[in-house]
Amino acid sequence: MLGDGVNEMGLTRSGYLKAMGIDVWTSRSAIAPQVVVAVESAIQSMNSLTEMSTQAPDRDVETAAAVQTEAALVGTPLPEFMLALLHYETVGLCLSLGAESELPRRFCDDVARTMGGNIESLRYQLLKWPMLSTSGIDQSINAAREVVTQKFRQMPSKVLVFGDDVGDYYNPLRDLAPMSTGAVGAQTFLKVPSLTELLGSGSSKRELMLAMHHWLRSEVL
């Protein structure tokens, strides 16, 4: 008799024989050898298909888990920065601030006034990154760049940028030299180095005033 071992699909060899029109009680000697070979081959083929359908997803899950684990282990630290964004109608200021820094409001108003900004129309926003102290939200360097880029698109046509590190999050400023201007479409920028250095140096302030003067003249011409 053929053994009644059950394969992974729950069918016995007897079941295969019966499906082929062969009585399950027929003795082995009464079955043609080629039929036995055919049944054995069919069982092996079905077993192979079953293994592929049940094991492949497991491998996919294991691979995905391995990738996630590797990403978590190799993951880079989240960027940390704080940007003060000031809108004076026609002039904007973006200042990179330290964790303990205070906004030099009077200085900002003086700069904006010199550039022809409307002090009374000031709108102010503080962008801190990471924005939320939680997991499950993309706060990577790429996400930060997307947010900062969107903020710059909402700024006025003239923007003074204080802090070299702002270029890490807004690409048009990355290769812009200190005290020089650049443009993206109709929006122009004046890049200024460290705010701390500027506020503590009279010569740096004079250099800024001169750069602003040249910037205004170029805008008129």
The neighbouring-strand residues paired with 81 are 129
User: What are the counts of helices (DSSP H) followed by strands (DSSP E) for the chain?
Assistant: 6, 6
H/E element, 55 = helix 33-74
Is the pLDDT assigned to residue 23 strictly greater than 90? no
| pLDDT given at position 52 | 44
The pLDDT tens digits for 75-123 are: 678 999 999 999 999 999 999 998 888 999 999 999 999 999 999 999 9
For residue 19, the surrounding DSSP H or E stretch is helix 13-19
Q: In 3-state terms, what secondary structure has residue 212?
A: helix
User: Is the pTM value of this prediction over 0.85?
Assistant: no
What is the pLDDT, as a whole number, of residue 14? 56
The string of pLDDT tens digits covering residues 168-215 is: 999 999 999 999 999 999 999 999 988 888 888 889 999 999 999 999
Domain ranges of the chain: 13-74, 81-220
Q: Which residues lie closer than 8 Å to 183 by C-beta, 6 or more apart?
A: 189
85 neighbors 159 (Cβ within 8 angstroms): no
The tokens describing 14, both together, are 């007897």
